[in-house]
Structure 1
Amino acid sequence: MSVNASQDIPGLKQKKVFKIIVLGDSGVGKTCLTYRFCEGQFLNKSEATIGVDFRERIIKIRNEDIKLQLWDTAGQERFRKSMVQHYYRNVHAVVIVYDVTKPETFHSISAWMQEIESHGLMNAPRVLVGNKCDCGTPESRLATTYAQRLADKYGMPLFETSALLDSECDNVESIFLTLAHKLYSKQPLRVISVAGEVSKGVVTLSRQRKVGCSSDQNSCLCN
């Protein structure tokens, strides 16, 4: 019996998939931010990312399922050299994170922006995030005015938050949902994925067969 090409394939549906990369120096809390957004809680035992940490979450925009893929890369240069090209491939949006208690991580933002520009992503939606607002004292944290000035220079919104505090959960949500809504409005190409799929790759359909588809730590908990 012939297969109707227009027939729906059971177990499959279309989703928009957005790849969002998270940049920043080592120890600024990139992994904790993505974990908070995807799992809804703080990652109590966080080790330095070696290579790439990958998480997904499905959200709804206008009753449509949208899959956000969050790629969190190692901040240390020695871990990044071998995978930078792969990391930046097919990126839709960028999150740049700094530690509000460590000015050197804020000063590194210009270098991260140069890397973004070298990979042709200056027109992609971007946000700047000051993390670890629960640490230090108000006097020891980087002033919001300095961060806002830099965010304005590069044309991106600024968020200041903490991956540790439950009270900041909505603020962490806003970071990634802001990007998701911007990307949704652009109506990018759809990709096919298996409903309930747990694998990280893109599924290729075939009509003839069934397709399956340790770190440096300091006293702050949100390293």
Structure 2
Amino acid sequence: MASASGPYNYSYIFKYIIIGDMGVGKSCLLHQFTEKKFMADCPHTIGVEFGTRIIEVCGQKIKLQIWDTAGQERFRAVTRSYYRGAAGALMVYDMTRRSTYNHLSSWLTDARNLTNPNTVIFLIGNKCDLDAQRDVTYDEAKAFADENGLTFLETSAKTGDGVEEAFLETAKRIFQNIQDGSELDLRRLSPQVVFGLGHDSRVRESRPSLPPALPPPRTVTINKFFICD
């Protein structure tokens, strides 16, 4: 296994996708997580946007490669190609707009059909800072998550509440899958979990047309790592 020290500054790459209707705050969540800032005038994503951040899970440095997909129906055919190879999927709705919650089944169908069975899918109810305008109760969304085997969390891209937890908990669950021997079909699919070479810890690129070149997949030897609570 590549070391996270010396010439390398991370041990794995985990590919994430962020999916959900237009205007639910997907780009703002990405920006809050990677830049620790809220974009008050965040433009709607056209196609896809991309960001990265290096995190640490119990001593193992992991590069999160995060693809923010457009929510408009006219871009669905394009953005579906980015599901392939995702180790984690953050499925986002706006808790102040029930219509975005009602469309979750469609997004979940895409995620289940276009990703690996071991892909970790995390349900996020965004804009919890607008609780007075809530249109979807916590209990209702939690029940949907439980029925579909999803982890659920409410977040605020504006205040940052819950944002770190959503991205980091997804990484821990992916890492737990590796520990348990669920290797996400590394040799069969595009890289979902890849041993990485050194790169800058945080990068923001605007609307790339194609995924950046990744190090070629290597044979993975699964070691037993402790996962922090």
TM range (shorter): 0.7 to 0.9
Equivalent residue, structure 2, for 1:53: 49
1:116 touches 1:122 (CA, 8 Å); kept in 2? no
Please list every run of 5 or more consecutive structure 2 residues that lacks an aligned counterpart in the other structure.
1-5, 184-192, 206-211, 217-229
Q: Provide the secondary structure at the position in 2 that maps to 1:180.
A: helix
2:214 to 202, 210, 217: 202
Q: 2:112 aligns with which of 112, 117, 128?
A: 117
**Pairing of 1:46-125 with structure 2 (within 5 A):** 46-85=42-81, 87-125=82-120
Q: RMSD value over aligned CA atoms? A: 2.3
CA radius of gyration, larger in: 1
Structure 2 residue matching 1:95: 3-state secondary structure: strand
TM-score normalised to structure 2 length: 0.75
Unaligned runs of 5+ in 1: 1-9, 205-223
- 1:216 is matched with none
**How far apart are residue 62 of structure 1 and its match?**
2.2
Distance 1:192 1:158 in 2: 29
Normalised by the length of structure 1, the TM-score is 0.77
Counterpart of 2:223?
none
* CA shift digits 1:48-69 (9 cap, x unpaired): 0001111100011222210011
**Are 1:20 and 2:16 counterparts?**
yes
How big is the shift at 1:123? 3.4
Q: Secondary structure at the match of 1:185?
A: helix
Aligned pair in 2 of structure 1 residues 135, 195: CA closer, same or farther (>3 Å)? closer
Identity level (%): 35
Say which SS state the counterpart of residue 130 (structure 1) adopts: strand
Residues 67-125 of structure 1 show CA distances to partners (whole Å, capped at 9, x for unaligned) of 0111110000212313422x012110111100011000000001111111221444321
Change (3 A) 1:38 1:201: same
CA contact (8 A) 2:10 2:60 kept: no
CA contact (8 A) 2:127 2:155 kept: yes
Q: Does 1:144 align with 2:138?
A: yes
Aligned pairs for 1:38-49 (under 5 A) are 38-49=34-45
Paired residues, what number?
Answer: 191
Name the CA distance, whole Å, in 2 between partners of 1:83 and 1:120: 13
For the residues of structure 1 that align with 2:142 and 2:120, how far apart are their CA atoms? 17
Alpha carbons of 1:74 and 1:12: their partners in 2 closer, same or farther (altered >3 Å)?
A: same
Would the aligned equivalents of 2:53 and 2:65 in 1 still touch at CA under 8 Å?
yes
